[in-house]
Amino acid sequence: MFYTMGIDVGCSAVKTVVMSFDDDASGEKLLATDLNKIRKRNVKDVIAQSCGHALATAGVALADIAYVATTGEGELVDFRRGHFYSMTTHARGAIFLVPDVHAVIDVGALHAKAILVDERSKVLGHRMTSQCASGSGQFLENISRYLGVSVEDVGRLSMSADNPEMVSGICAVLAETDVINMVSRGITPANILKGIHVSIAKRLINLLRALKAEGRVLITGGLAADVGFVAVMQELADGAGMDVAVTSHELSVHAGAIGAAIWAGFRHVKLAETSAIA
């Protein structure tokens, strides 16, 4: 048996997991997860803290880890052994969490993308949103702070909306101006938040349509924990006549780190085989 560590360095948080494998890289087990918000701190300090928490939970030392793999902004991890692209890791992590998934929607703090995958987690196609931050998790977090709503309550509040107010889908600056105007007009936070959910979801539904996605779609990244956003994604998919089931998972935010750890196990075994042959 051996251990691997997957570290997903995002724009707003560091996610770390520790996994164990049989000697042939089969029988993967998730031993520990950690999510540590950056919050204007030194990112390398956050990485060290997150890794320390995950190792302590798993009951292993860093010296016991056979392979440390990163994804996201992984170049900030000095002790990494390898790095994998985020599409590859989110695809593999999604299959681990929900084996029958056919597409992944990764909504991070600044970027969002749709990924079409097969049962082996091979990426068959992908589409990304524009660079505008109004389609991101960070924008939604900023607006919730302005409205005085905790991030944990955003989804529940959105689901109580009775007349959602749409915001600009063009850029974050215009969208923020829209929200300020809405507040001055007495629009409720629930209707504002659902309007933002709809604005973000429309873009992502268009990406899924472009990929001709069908079947189960797993949302990963920070917005995966937002039940209101997940509900709006399904609502818009149904309205567009798409044959998809949009879902989330309690560990969706760790999908990238999980995928990195699984690919680390595969690469560790391949490197060991190559050394044995040499």
**Structural domain includes residue 89:** no
Residues 34 and 67 in one domain: yes
Residues 158 and 195 in one domain: yes
Supply the pLDDT for residue 52.
97
Residues 54 and 163 in one domain: no
Mean pLDDT, rounded, of the chain: 91
Q: For residues 18 and 112, which has the higher predicted lDDT (pLDDT)?
A: 18
Average pLDDT estimate for 63-84: 94
Supply the pLDDT for residue 170.
57
User: What is the pTM for the complete model shown?
Assistant: 0.92
**Structural domain includes residue 256:** no
pLDDT for residue 232 is more than 80:
yes
Residues 51 and 139 in one domain: no
pLDDT for residue 278 is more than 60:
no
Average pLDDT estimate for 29-54: 96
DSSP 110: S
Residues 205 and 152 in one domain: yes
Query: Exposed (0-12), middle (13-18) or buried (19+): which is 21, by Cβ within 10 Å?
Result: buried
**Structural domain includes residue 93:** no
Residues 12 and 79 in one domain: yes
CATH number for position 10? 3.30.420.40
> Which range, of 8-17, 113-122, 130-139, 184-193, averages the lowest pLDDT?
130-139
Q: How far apart are CA 31 and CA 55, in angstroms?
A: 9
Supply the pLDDT for residue 140.
84
Supply the pLDDT for residue 160.
95
Residues 37 and 121 in one domain: no
Backbone phi and psi for residue 159, each to the nearest 5 degrees, phi listed first: -70, -15
**Structural domain includes residue 265:** no
Domain, as residue range, for 8:
2-84
